[in-house]
């Protein structure tokens, strides 16, 4: 609550001091006058009056809370009271500020993946990697999460369900392709810990291990794998390992 006049702010039931009404932390609530307004705690010069505050509240609130009340900065202007959103600078609610609040409350560290746009590869490959980072690549596992019924087998090995981690990191067919095309990448990316982690975290970790140059190469390999996977799914193309390696090189 953004307080200006304080004449419409109830002491016990409005959110003016903390994130919950003071009534929730009060004692002896049966004798509380719940109609008291904040402006009734002020002296004529619009400052918190310690004598009034202690007289009205000391039987119901701790000294810590009373001290906090007396430290409230009371504006001298007479603007009308209004609700404000404390997560934004201007006090107005926005989707961006609410998302930031959720991440902050959950302890999420925002991943800076803008380095993707600085990779040395074609724009379509950068966009492909960005889609991966946002969980937007429509693998069979992702489609299943959206309750879309599709055959779940990997189109390359036919032995495992297709999701991001299997298709680009665990599938033996894909491992062989990476080994044959750029063997130096193989030992760098496959030992990384990926249990219960999101794609964006994996991308960030691999990039920090191999650097921008190698990440550009890996992105190109992954895009090629996705391209040939789609050729198999939609055009009934044959899976030809040498053909994929030749295409990448």
pLDDT of 90 > 60? The answer is yes
One domain, residues 126 and 73: no
Domain assignment present for residue 94? The answer is no
What is the structure's pLDDT at 236? 84
One domain, residues 51 and 157: no
pLDDT of 2 > 50? The answer is no
Averaged pLDDT for residues 7-25? 82
Residue 187 or residue 33, greater confidence: 33
pLDDT of 207 > 60? The answer is yes
pLDDT of 96 > 80? The answer is no
Domain assignment present for residue 180? The answer is yes
Mapped onto helix, strand or coil, the DSSP state of residue 82 is strand
Domain assignment present for residue 190? The answer is yes
Residue 82 or residue 63, greater confidence: 63
pLDDT of 162 > 90? The answer is yes
One domain, residues 61 and 140: no
One domain, residues 221 and 118: yes
One domain, residues 229 and 151: yes
One domain, residues 216 and 125: yes
Domain assignment present for residue 97? The answer is no
Averaged pLDDT for residues 160-184? 82
Domain assignment present for residue 4? The answer is no
DSSP state of 9: -
One domain, residues 167 and 218: yes
pLDDT digits over 104-139, tens only?
Answer: 765 545 457 899 999 999 999 999 999 999 989 999
One domain, residues 134 and 221: yes
One domain, residues 145 and 219: yes
Confidence label for 238 from pLDDT (cuts 50, 70 and 90): confident
Q: What is the 3-state secondary structure (H, E, C) of 177-245?
A: HHHHHCHHHHHHHCCCCCCCCCHHHHHHHHHHHHHHHHHHHHHHHHHHHHHHHHHHHHHCCCCCHHHHH
Domain assignment present for residue 3? The answer is no
Query: Closest Cα to residue 203, out of 136, 109, 129?
Result: 129
Domain assignment present for residue 93? The answer is no
- Say what percent of the chain tops pLDDT 90: 20
pLDDT of 169 > 60? The answer is yes
Q: Into how many domains does the chain fold?
A: 2
What is the structure's pLDDT at 194? 58
One domain, residues 191 and 236: yes
C-alpha 135/C-alpha 131 separation (Å) is 6
Average model confidence (pLDDT) for the chain? 80
Contact 239, 232 (CB under 8 A): yes
C-alpha 104/C-alpha 248 separation (Å) is 41
One domain, residues 137 and 69: no
Q: CB atoms < 10 A from the CB of 238, how many? A: 8
Domain assignment present for residue 53? The answer is yes
pLDDT digits over 178-195, tens only?
Answer: 777 665 565 656 556 655
Task: Provide the residue range defining the domain that includes 141.
Answer: 114-248
C-alpha 126/C-alpha 132 separation (Å) is 10
One domain, residues 230 and 155: yes
């Amino acid at each position: 609550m953004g307080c200006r006049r304080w004449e419409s702010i109830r002491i016990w039931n409005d959110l003016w001091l903390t994130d919950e009404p003071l009534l929730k932390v009060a004692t002896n609530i049966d004798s509380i006058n719940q109609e008291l307004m904040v402006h009734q705690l002020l002296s004529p010069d619009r400052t918190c009056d310690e004598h009034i505050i202690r007289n009205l509240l000391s039987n119901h609130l701790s000294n810590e809370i009373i001290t906090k009340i007396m430290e409230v900065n009371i504006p001298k202007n007479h603007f009308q009271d209004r609700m404000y959103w404390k997560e934004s600078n201007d006090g107005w609610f926005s989707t961006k500020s609410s998302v930031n609040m959720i991440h902050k409350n959950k302890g999420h560290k925002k991943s800076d993946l803008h380095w993707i746009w600085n990779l040395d590869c074609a724009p379509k490959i950068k966009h492909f990697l960005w889609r991966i980072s946002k969980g937007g690549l429509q693998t069979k596992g992702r489609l299943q999460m959206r309750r879309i019924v599709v055959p779940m087998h990997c189109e390359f090995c036919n032995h495992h369900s297709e999701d991001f981690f299997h298709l680009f990191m665990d599938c033996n067919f894909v491992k062989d392709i990476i080994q044959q095309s750029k063997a130096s990448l193989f030992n760098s990316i496959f030992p990384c810990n990926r249990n219960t982690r999101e794609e964006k975290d994996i991308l960030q970790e691999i990039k920090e291990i191999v650097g921008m140059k190698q990440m550009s190469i890996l992105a190109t390999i992954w895009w090629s794998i996705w391209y040939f996977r789609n050729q198999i799914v939609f055009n009934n193309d044959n899976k030809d390992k040498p053909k994929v390696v030749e295409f990448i090189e």
